[in-house]
Structure 1
Amino acid sequence: MTQSTPVSPAKPTVLDVAAAADVSVGTVSRVLNTPDAVGPDIRKRVHEAVQAIGYTPLRKRRKGPVAAEGGATHRPRGNLGVLLLGMADSLTHLPVISEALHGVELAMSEEGVNLMLANVPTADRVPLFLAKKQVDGLILKSPLLGDLRLCASQGLIEAINRVPHVWLLGKPDSGEGDMCGADFDVGTRIGVEHLHARGHRRIGYMHPRPGQTRSEGLKRALTAHIQRLGMSLQVFEKSHVGRVQWPLPAVSSPDEVMPMLERWRALPETERPTALIVGADSIAVQVYAALRQLGLRVGTDVSVLSFNHEKPLVMGLSPALTTIDIRAEAIGRRAVQQLLWRIRNKGEDIPTKILVEPRLIEGASVAVI
């Protein structure tokens, strides 16, 4: 049984249009950008979905060249691509990804460029707009578990690397180029200091997907900040299961966290962490459900702190979840700005990492002890 709250994000994205119309995100992109390439029945379904969910398409691009640094001009096609790769629907539709994509859409609209979007869950083909060189650059979103060279086709990787691009919300192993994401060092410092201030000294970190680049980064940051404050850290993870294959699904069942919670519960009370940190709200939802199955109460028997601030997922949780808001919409906006800079400065070949500082959203899941 999965505990979730089926609430749509407050700001619809092309992903929501695709789901409502029961078509691919690429089809939605074609209807909105090149409608003559799509049959009338499909166009009608997409436009009805747009009206039904209140989605606002991007305005048309502005005319004329774009000034580059140094006074030169770059004459773009006026199209930027968004490529989702390697993700199952359960992962693609997580609110944190939808919110980041909403930021991407807003920034592209403000810049007057068109968005062309494709979803390649198997990461084994090159989208038409990329093969035909119809975009000036790409925003990329993939899973953060799995090596790009092993999980995606060589043809797709080569096509991506031929154009300016920015990875959104993290970069997979062996991924090249710029990345815009959250500053998890700051986020973990905020979270650990919050736990410390509320009396917690024994902390557990729980993640069912060992090897994920974001999870490994969180562990390193947690170790540093917990040691700095004289606290102790225990890590609860699943064993590695061999080679990762895409498309990767989201963590969507209490069964995925139950073995780790049972290991935590089996510890002597004097050694058992009083607070658990999880790397994403989608995992926290399953931790709540699993603890309830064990007859334990969040905020009473154990405290829980999470990351992302995915309101549609956690608004039904009781007690309210304390989480680190990574500001996903701001990350999406900033990724577009970095992509436009990269397009105008193709001679600058040093990969750049843009990090947005998170903030604490205090609920009632962290007790004072």
Structure 2
Amino acid sequence: MDKKNVSMNDVAVAAGVSLKTVSRVINEPDSVRESTRDKVHSAMEALGFRANFAARSLKLGRYGCIGVVLFHLSGGNVDMIDGIADAAEERGFALTMIKKRAGEKMTLAEAARRMSQLPVDGMIFNLRQMVDDFDTFEAPKDLKTVIITPMEHPTCSTVSDDQEDGARMACEYFLNHGHKNVYFVSGKKESLSSQCRMKGWRAALEARGIEPPEPLQGDWNADSGYAAGLVLADKPDCTAVLAANDCMANGVMMALRDKGLSVPDDVSVIGFDDELYKTIPNSILTSVKFRHRELGIRALNEVVAGLEAPSSRSRTLVSGVLVERSSVKDLRA
């Protein structure tokens, strides 16, 4: 038999079930007994049958698939994708992914065009930096779009870690432990995460009537943190450093050590993302940890909610937690 011409009726005959049962296995699998599903799936595999997504869409009004656009699969993105995948499985959806190269530009409109050509019901766009059409983009009416970004969008639902609040929390921790000011080592200038973390740091200091010192520019890598640490080691008033991620925080600590200073006795340090303990044993670094898996779950559920209520729009912020270790000294008398 030509596998290209295998029909649902052929599957029904091979499995010894009705055509309606085959349709239910494809479109409503939970309504069919497991033993019957297994027979139908075995027949499909033996015959080389693949469901017609277009026909399925006409029957159910959806494809049962969500598109995901992202730029890299490392760090917190791995946990985020894990959350998206688990939530999709629980809600009965599959995933289609488009991965762009780091530094490669893509507008929201372009992502929507790409996804509109695929059998997907909605799209999750993991936005790492600002795109040219962020404020003007309007998602196609038949493609529910959720953007993972700390920025609020005028028409699309957004989900994000609460980056600003995480920075405020870390900064206030320093101040509540007797530190008079906090220096900041930023990530790349174009990074939305770095911008929001810097904004939270400034807000926390200004709320206490403290003039924020000039931030030091980093690039997320440990070497840039090391370079910043060498500068900070020569500042007599520097007792506290907030680095925009753990890699740079570790670089800062290594530079301070090489300059003969101790963490936390001479300078206290806090990082972001709580990643250092995975590669460095007995890490002392206090860090702001974000719940990336929860972020992925929220994003997927928001897409599905939008399929059921297309006009809905929301902004969801997932709070972080401060993981306390021993890199901050209490200066209170």
**TM-score of the pair, normalised by structure 1:** 0.63
Q: 2:244 aligns with which of 245, 259, 279?
A: 279
The letter for the 2-side match of 1:84 is L
Q: 2:304 aligns with which of 317, 340, 344?
A: 340
Decide which structure has the larger Cα Rg and report it.
2
Q: 2:221 aligns with which of 249, 252, 262?
A: 252
The answer to whether the 8 A contact 1:126-1:159 is kept is no
- Which consecutive residues of structure 1, in runs of 5 or more, have no partner in the other structure? 1-35, 37-59, 65-72, 152-156, 240-249
1:288 is aligned to 2:288: no
Give 3-state SS (helix, strand or coil) of 2:184's partner: strand
Equivalent position of 1:233 in the other structure: 212
1:97 is aligned to 2:77: yes
Q: Superposition pairs for residues 1-369 of structure 1, below 5 Å?
A: 63=28, 75-85=61-71, 87=72, 92-94=73-75, 96-121=76-101, 122-123=104-105, 130=115, 132-144=117-129, 147-149=130-132, 163-168=143-148, 170=150, 177-238=156-217, 251-254=220-223, 256-267=224-235, 269=236, 272-310=237-275, 313=278, 316=280, 319-348=283-312, 350=313, 352-369=314-331
CA shift digits 1:41-83 (9 cap, x unpaired): xxxxxxxxxxxxxxxxxxx99728xxxxxxxx97320001111
Give 3-state SS (helix, strand or coil) of 1:266's partner: coil
Give how far 1:128 is off.
10
The answer to whether the 8 A contact 1:169-1:331 is kept is no
What CA distance in whole angstroms lies between the structure 2 residues aligned with 1:116 and 1:312?
Answer: 32
Sort the Cα spacing of 1:150 and 1:186 in 2 relative to 1 into closer, same or farther, 3 A.
closer
Larger RCO (CA within 8 A; separation ≥ 6): 1
The letter for the 1-side match of 2:216 is E
CA shift digits 1:252-309 (9 cap, x unpaired): 341x234433332333x1xx22111122223323333443444433323311112222
Sort the Cα spacing of 1:126 and 1:347 in 2 relative to 1 into closer, same or farther, 3 A.
closer
Give 3-state SS (helix, strand or coil) of 2:121's partner: coil
Identity, in percent, stands at 20
What CA distance in whole angstroms lies between the structure 2 residues aligned with 1:160 and 1:293?
Answer: 55
Sort the Cα spacing of 1:75 and 1:297 in 2 relative to 1 into closer, same or farther, 3 A.
farther
What CA distance in whole angstroms lies between the structure 2 residues aligned with 1:208 and 1:129?
Answer: 30
What CA distance in whole angstroms lies between the structure 1 residues aligned with 2:325 and 2:228?
Answer: 24
**What is the alpha-carbon root mean square deviation over aligned residues?**
3.7
Give 3-state SS (helix, strand or coil) of 2:213's partner: strand
The answer to whether the 8 A contact 1:234-1:273 is kept is no
The letter for the 2-side match of 1:274 is T
The letter for the 1-side match of 2:131 is L
- Which consecutive residues of structure 2, in runs of 5 or more, have no partner in the other structure? 5-24, 30-58
The letter for the 2-side match of 1:338 is E
Aligned length: 274
Instruction: Write out the 4+ residue segments of structure 1 that deviate beyond 3 Å after TM superposition.
Output: 123-129, 157-162, 169-172, 229-232, 288-297
Sort the Cα spacing of 1:264 and 1:308 in 2 relative to 1 into closer, same or farther, 3 A.
same
